[in-house]
């Protein structure tokens, strides 16, 4: 794999990591959450 493909893959992984961990800011606080905990709670509520 050449350097350009590695860099592109790394950038996609970083974007996914941000989405899963810190993509949503909670208003009036300094906290950020990601999609991952929301998906887990959705699974818990549905099952």
For 15-47, write each residue's pLDDT tens digit. 999 999 999 999 999 899 999 988 999 888 887
Tokens of 16: 């996914």
φ, ψ (nearest 5 deg) of residue 24: -115, 120
Cα–Cα dist 27/30, whole Å: 8
Query: What secondary structure letter does DSSP report for 39?
Result: H
Q: Please state the domain extents for the chain.
A: 3-46
- pTM score of the predicted model: 0.72
Confidence of residue 11 (pLDDT cuts 50, 70, 90): very high
Residue 47 confidence (pLDDT): 76
How confident is the model at residue 43, as a pLDDT? 87
Measured between its terminal Cα atoms, the distance across the chain in Å is 42
């Amino acid at each position: 794999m050449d350097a350009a493909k590695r860099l592109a893959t790394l950038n996609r992984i970083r974007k996914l990591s941000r989405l899963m961990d810190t993509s949503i800011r909670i208003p009036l606080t300094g906290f950020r959450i990601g999609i991952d905990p929301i998906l887990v709670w959705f699974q818990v509520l549905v099952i």
